[in-house]
């Protein structure tokens, strides 16, 4: 009765049985993660588009708001995020080499740098609060000519940096999960897919900031 | 597991380039260059983004399928921005013709 026998090929624990091999399994995860990141690109793309339209409609009001952007904190935060992307890539590299202690160390560093970014962002938001630059009934602007248009631009500032900060907070949560998983010895040189996928997410969030920083803080700086 | 592990030197070089470009973009923004300020800032941002995508996100060694998806994402972003801005940025370039 050879026909009725179900043949289940033995497979290693880290390889799910519906994949041919580890390479195909990792490829599927990578492709799926990129599909998600593409939807994120489109999501942020809409905000970048809206920002560009208003910047074009009200160039003078826009130039006047750029004096209230804290370029020093913005530049430090750019450096902090680039450092965190570097530690993240080193965490993935440690995972590839199966170095468990190094994975945890680099993930913790990445997490701390993410928290530094969010703290500095909080300092900046507090400055905006003190200066009454938060859009709404309490909004005040020194230059009365641009009070209304400047409010639109501050709204865009908070929408874009706020959505970015929410992504950072999600990233910090994901890193915490990874650290716990690494602590429980869930990763090996043969399977470390979550480290690599969350690495892709973290780098994506870094790229968004790479574009937000010049657009919000640097353009119109000299006018 | 498919690819040889990249040496720390490569990652460190990309990291150094990203920091150097950040300092460059801040320095360039202090100069009075008119419209070139915007062009320079965006060019540097695109270079930085490309470095992160190619080296940190390892797209340079990804499968053709992944590259196609990344490329399609950028292409759709281009459709969004080009069509949106070709309307807004061209308004008022010339008076509307009387028969329109």
How do the domains of chain A map onto residue ranges? 29-218
Task: Compare CB distances from A78 to B2, B22, B62 and report the shortest one's residue.
Answer: B22
- pLDDT for A3: 58
- pLDDT for A81: 98
Q: Which residues pair with A191 in a beta bridge?
A: A188
Single pTM value for the model: 0.92
- pLDDT for B52: 98
**Chain A residues inside the 8 Å CB shell of B55:** 89
**Chain A residues inside the 8 Å CB shell of B76:** 38, 42
| Beta carbons of B85 and A52 less than 8 Å apart | yes
- pLDDT for A223: 47
Q: How close, in Å, is residue B95 to chain A by CA atoms?
A: 18
Q: Quick one: B99 and B53 in the same domain?
A: no
Residue in A closest to B88 by C-alpha: A53
| Beta carbons of A27 and B63 less than 8 Å apart | yes
Q: Quick one: B23 and B53 in the same domain?
A: yes
Q: Quick one: B8 and B18 in the same domain?
A: yes
Q: Quick one: B70 and B55 in the same domain?
A: no
Q: What is the ipTM of this complex?
A: 0.91
Q: Quick one: B20 and B8 in the same domain?
A: yes
Question: Is the CB of residue A149 less than 8 Å from the CB of residue A61?
Answer: yes
CA distance B29 to B7: 34
As given in the structure block, the two tokens for residue B11 are 């990652």
Q: Quick one: B24 and B53 in the same domain?
A: yes
| Beta carbons of B11 and A89 less than 8 Å apart | yes
Domain count, chain B: 2
**Chain B residues inside the 8 Å CB shell of A213:** 25, 45
Q: Quick one: B76 and B100 in the same domain?
A: yes
- pLDDT for B1: 46
What torsion, rounded to 10 degrees, do the Cα atoms B23, B25, B31, B33 define? Answer: 160
Q: Quick one: B57 and B13 in the same domain?
A: yes
Q: How close, in Å, is residue B86 to chain A by CA atoms?
A: 10
* Mean pLDDT, 10 residues at a time, chain A of 223 residues: 61 82 89 97 96 91 87 97 98 95 97 98 96 92 90 95 98 98 93 96 98 90 52
Residue in B closest to A54 by C-alpha: B88
Among A159, A69, A179, residue whose Cα is nearest residue A114: A179
Q: Quick one: B29 and B2 in the same domain?
A: yes
| Beta carbons of A214 and B42 less than 8 Å apart | yes
Report DSSP state, residue B58: -
| Beta carbons of B56 and A96 less than 8 Å apart | no
Q: Quick one: B12 and B50 in the same domain?
A: yes
Parent domain of B92:
63-100
CATH architecture of A29-218: Up-down Bundle (1.20)
Tens-digit pLDDT profile for residues B58-99: 999 999 999 999 999 999 999 999 999 999 888 877 776 777
CA distance A94 to A110: 14
């Amino acid at each position: 009765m050879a026909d009725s026998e179900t043949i289940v090929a033995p497979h290693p624990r880290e390889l799910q049985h519906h994949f041919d091999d580890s390479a195909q399994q990792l490829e599927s995860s990578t492709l799926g993660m990129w599909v998600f990141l593409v939807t994120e690109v489109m999501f942020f793309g809409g905000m970048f588009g809206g920002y560009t339209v208003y910047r074009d409609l009200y160039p003078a009001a826009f130039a006047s708001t750029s004096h209230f952007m804290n370029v020093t904190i913005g530049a430090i935060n750019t450096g902090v995020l680039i450092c965190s992307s570097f530690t993240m890539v080193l965490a993935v590299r440690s995972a590839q080499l199966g170095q468990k202690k190094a994975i945890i160390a680099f993930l913790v560093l990445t997490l701390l740098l993410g928290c530094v970014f969010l703290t500095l962002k909080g300092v900046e938001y507090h400055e905006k609060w003190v200066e009454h630059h938060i859009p709404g009934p309490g909004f005040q602007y020194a230059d009365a000519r641009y009070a209304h248009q400047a409010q639109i631009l501050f709204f865009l500032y908070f929408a874009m940096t706020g959505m970015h900060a929410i992504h950072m907070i999600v990233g910090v949560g994901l890193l915490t999960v990874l650290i716990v998983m690494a602590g429980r010895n869930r990763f090996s040189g043969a399977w470390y897919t979550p480290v690599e996928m969350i690495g892709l997410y973290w780098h994506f969030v870094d790229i968004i900031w790479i574009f937000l920083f010049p657009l919000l803080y640097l353009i119109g700086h000299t006018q | 597991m498919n690819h040889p592990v990249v040496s720390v030197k490569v990652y460190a070089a990309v990291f150094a380039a990203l920091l150097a470009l950040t300092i460059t973009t801040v320095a360039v923004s202090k100069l009075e260059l008119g419209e070139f300020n915007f062009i320079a800032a965006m060019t540097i941002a695109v270079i930085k983004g490309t470095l992160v995508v190619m080296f940190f996100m390892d797209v340079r060694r990804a499968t053709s399928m992944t590259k196609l998806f990344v490329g399609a994402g950028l292409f759709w972003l281009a459709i969004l921005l080009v069509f949106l801005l070709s309307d807004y940025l061209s308004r008022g370039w010339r008076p509307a013709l009387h028969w329109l």
